[in-house]
């Protein structure tokens, strides 16, 4: 018939060899196996990548990587660091509301540790600027107790004294000012 092309079947010797069945596909079924990388290792690699981007001050990309880490590995070690640096990245980009809510979230989940202290300090700054001196005082006291660095601890005490001044509690403020002045 016209317009019809027929192709003769190839001889078995002319057919390409069949690929050997892979371990993933036997009998037409796909087998799934866990990754050879442990979840802990994968989490730490993700956090390391985010930290690398953060250290290069590429905050918009760091935000994406920290969010990915926090969503993918919600209970992994380093969550407090990731939350803090996520909030800091927002702050550095001028996203004040996102930064503030990030610090608040960190403090809801982690009340102890270096990053809790740093987040409390930042939140205290926001609250003080909003003239919420009683709430700022709470955050500066937490920062003074939990911060690892002497500089942050000292600054937190000074700002707590300033909040006490605004709250008309001069004797308490004077004690903190005295502590700061001794250093």
Task: Report pLDDT for 22.
Answer: 47
- Band of residue 31 on the pLDDT scale cut at 50, 70, 90: low
Tokens 């760091």 found at: 62
Per-residue pLDDT tens digits for 122-145: 999 999 999 999 999 999 999 999
pLDDT at 166 over 90: yes
Phi, psi of 41 (to 5 degrees): -65, -45
Query: Who's near 167: CB < 8 A, 6+ residues apart?
Result: 133, 134, 137
Task: Report pLDDT for 39.
Answer: 76
């Amino acid at each position: 018939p016209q317009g019809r092309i027929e192709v003769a079947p190839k001889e078995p010797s002319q057919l390409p060899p069949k690929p050997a069945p892979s371990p993933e596909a036997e009998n037409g079924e796909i087998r799934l196996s866990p990754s050879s990388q442990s979840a802990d290792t994968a989490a730490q690699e993700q956090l390391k990548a985010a930290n690398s981007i953060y250290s290069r001050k590429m905050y918009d990309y760091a935000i994406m990587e920290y969010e990915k880490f926090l969503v993918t590995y919600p209970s992994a070690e380093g969550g407090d660091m990731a939350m803090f640096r996520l909030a800091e990245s927002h702050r550095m980009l001028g996203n004040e509301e996102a930064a503030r809510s990030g610090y608040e979230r960190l403090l809801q989940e982690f009340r102890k540790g270096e990053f809790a202290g740093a987040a409390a300090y930042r939140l205290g700054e926001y609250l003080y600027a909003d003239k919420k001196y009683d709430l700022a005082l709470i955050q500066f006291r937490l920062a003074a107790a939990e911060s690892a660095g002497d500089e942050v601890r000292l600054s937190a005490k000074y700002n707590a004294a300033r909040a006490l001044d605004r709250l008309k509690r001069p004797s308490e403020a004077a004690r903190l000012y005295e502590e700061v002045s001794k250093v």
